[in-house]
Amino acid sequence: MKEKIQHLIEEVRLVSISTAEDLEQFRIHFQGRKGILNGLFEEFKTVANEQKKETGKILNDLKTVIQEKIDLFLLESEPNNEKPVSDLDLTRPVNYMEPGPRHPLSIVRNQIIEIFSRIGYTVAEDREIEDDWHNFTALNFPEEHPARDMQDTFFIEKNPDIALRTHTSSVQIRTMEKNKPPIRSIFPGRVFRNEVVSARAHCIFHQVEGLYVDKDVSFRDLKQTLLYFAKEMFGESTQIRLRPSYFPFTEPSGEMDVSCNICGGKGCNICKYSGWVEILGCGMVDPAVLENCNIDSEIYTGFAFGMGIERITMLKYQIKDLRLFFENDLRFLNQFKGVI
Ligand SMILES: [Zn+2]
């Protein structure tokens, strides 16, 4: 029987299958119900036990050779017998992208928004390229007035003047033009001034201004709102003080200091040994500004305040150089990982 199988193996190797009919005949001949393989397996049952191992092995070889012949034909007769090209490689390491941390200015901006939303302030934003009316004139900066020199900026067009806004107060004007009191909003955004870039000044920075206009709004409301903000931002033990100041759009105007949160008021180099650091400007909205926005200043009063987000961030995180915010240096930015 071994010789017979050996011959069959040789025979199968020589067979050439070139058509589907050839294949079908080959299959029936060898693998059919009454085909050669089945016959041999029947015969195998009668093989003496001591022969079984060896005979079984070559019988399996025959079975394999037959199947390989069929597989080869099937592979070669595929319409496109090139292996499909795929760049899928499941063994490659993944492209791991580490999520970046939030920018410190965004962190503080969001904190400020959150603090004021808790007492009912909505958020309004508007354009960065502004006309003269909304950036200056409506805010009581008459043309040729020296106060305009305090806020030199980058002009895009002259007569009529179009410029990069110098403060987000322009959004206060737009909000008052569009809405009737009561108005209670904050205005975060990027602003521009023609300043020499240094550790303490930049030609780009960010502000959050706030405005509350209603009947009977007083300076007392302003002070309480700012005290609430200072405690929420810098801690429960924070104190505030207000010093008289001047802005064209508020009367009276003030600047607010908070007790130094680094030394607790004892004096350090951050607060220049005074125990206080200045963080914002504020005041009662000048009646002329209300009238410019068609709000009756005999009925309504309001207060406004404005702060630089950079300044608050520098105090909160003890950052000494303003330029770090704009350099995109990962050694700086990665220090804010995990801060939300
Ligand atoms: Zn201090």
Q: What is the DSSP string of 253-293?
A: EEEEEEE-TTTTTS--TTTTTSSEEEEEEEEEEPHHHHHHT
- The CA 259 to ligand 1 mean position distance, Å, reads 8
- The CA 275 to ligand 1 mean position distance, Å, reads 5
pLDDT score at 84: 64
The alpha-carbon radius of gyration of the chain (Å, integer) is 42
**CA-CA distances (angstroms) from residue 300 to 85, 176, 289, 291, 295?**
75, 12, 12, 10, 7
- The CA 49 to ligand 1 mean position distance, Å, reads 100
- The CA 267 to ligand 1 mean position distance, Å, reads 4
**CA-CA distances (angstroms) from residue 235 to 1, 229, 231, 262, 303?**
97, 10, 5, 11, 24
Structure tokens given for 212: 């509350």
- The CA 215 to ligand 1 mean position distance, Å, reads 39
- The CA 290 to ligand 1 mean position distance, Å, reads 38
Backbone φ/ψ region at 267: left (φ over 0), alpha (ψ -120 to 50), beta: left
Dihedral angle computed from the Cα positions of residues 184, 189, 192 and 197, in that order, rounded to the nearest 10 degrees: 120
Closest Cα partner for 256 from 236, 286, 234, 288?
234
pLDDT score at 307: 95
CA dist., res. 307 & res. 97, Å (int): 35
- The CA 197 to ligand 1 mean position distance, Å, reads 25
pLDDT score at 79: 64
Mean pLDDT (10-residue bins), the chain, 340 residues:
87 85 89 89 87 88 89 78 72 80 94 96 94 89 75 81 90 93 95 87 92 96 96 93 94 94 82 91 95 94 96 89 91 86
Predicted model pTM: 0.69
Structure tokens given for 219: 């300076």
pLDDT score at 320: 85
Strands 204-214 and 301-308: antiparallel
End-to-end Cα separation, the chain, in angstroms: 82
Residue 336: DSSP 8-state: G
- The CA 272 to ligand 1 mean position distance, Å, reads 7
- The CA 270 to ligand 1 mean position distance, Å, reads 5
- The CA 277 to ligand 1 mean position distance, Å, reads 8
Specify the residue for token string 């780009």. Answer: 204
- Secondary structure class of 60 (helix, strand, coil): helix
pLDDT score at 214: 96
Dihedral angle computed from the Cα positions of residues 210, 216, 222 and 223, in that order, rounded to the nearest 10 degrees: -170
Backbone φ/ψ region at 218: left (φ over 0), alpha (ψ -120 to 50), beta: beta
- The CA 117 to ligand 1 mean position distance, Å, reads 29
- The CA 218 to ligand 1 mean position distance, Å, reads 31
- The CA 268 to ligand 1 mean position distance, Å, reads 4
